Amino acid sequence: MYKKHTWKDIPGEAGVDAFLHNKQWLDVQNDQPIPDALAKFLDLFTAYGIDSLTITLHFTSSGYNVPMSMHGGPDGIGWPEEIGDERTLRKVTIKADNPPLDGISRQTIYDRKTLDEIQDDYRDLVDKSYIYYDE
């Protein structure tokens, strides 16, 4: 007999560090431009002379895990592990690494349409990120 583990709305985070180079925001990891859905929010920081940001993608995970088995199943030979995991971006936090005293230091994005666009751009990163699940 197997035990199916399930979870719902477990929080997780993924991080992106960005820097400004020739008036364009780039991802520190790969020197690629930050996608437009997110980049349009970074221009506000540029106006204050900020050139380095930490971006946190806050998501939740809901899913299940059925461990593999060496026995059972229709042929009596067991079955492979089965995992289902649906992740939903809940908010994006942008923080200036060295904020000015009289300017913006942080911004949070909650708009559902924008979050969906950002999640599409960062799907691989979000899907591979750790969730804070404790049985």
Tell me the per-residue pLDDT of 63-105, one tens digit each, with 9 for 90 and over. 998 888 777 777 777 778 788 899 999 999 999 998 887 778 9
Scored b (16 or more CB within 10 A) or e, 10-28 reads: bebebebebebeeeebbbe
**Per-residue pLDDT at 134:** 67
Supply the pLDDT for residue 135: 58
Confidence of residue 13 (pLDDT cuts 50, 70, 90): very high
Q: What is the pLDDT of residues 14-41, one digit of tens each?
A: 999 999 999 999 999 999 999 999 999 9
Six token digits for residue 125: 């990163």
Backbone φ/ψ region at 28: left (φ over 0), alpha (ψ -120 to 50), beta: alpha
Q: What is the pLDDT of residue 110?
A: 96
pLDDT at residue number 100 = 81
10 has pLDDT over 70: yes
pLDDT, position 1:
45
Task: Kindly state the tokens that stand for 14.
Answer: 């993924």
- Say yes or no to pLDDT of 2 above 50: yes
pLDDT at position 70: 76
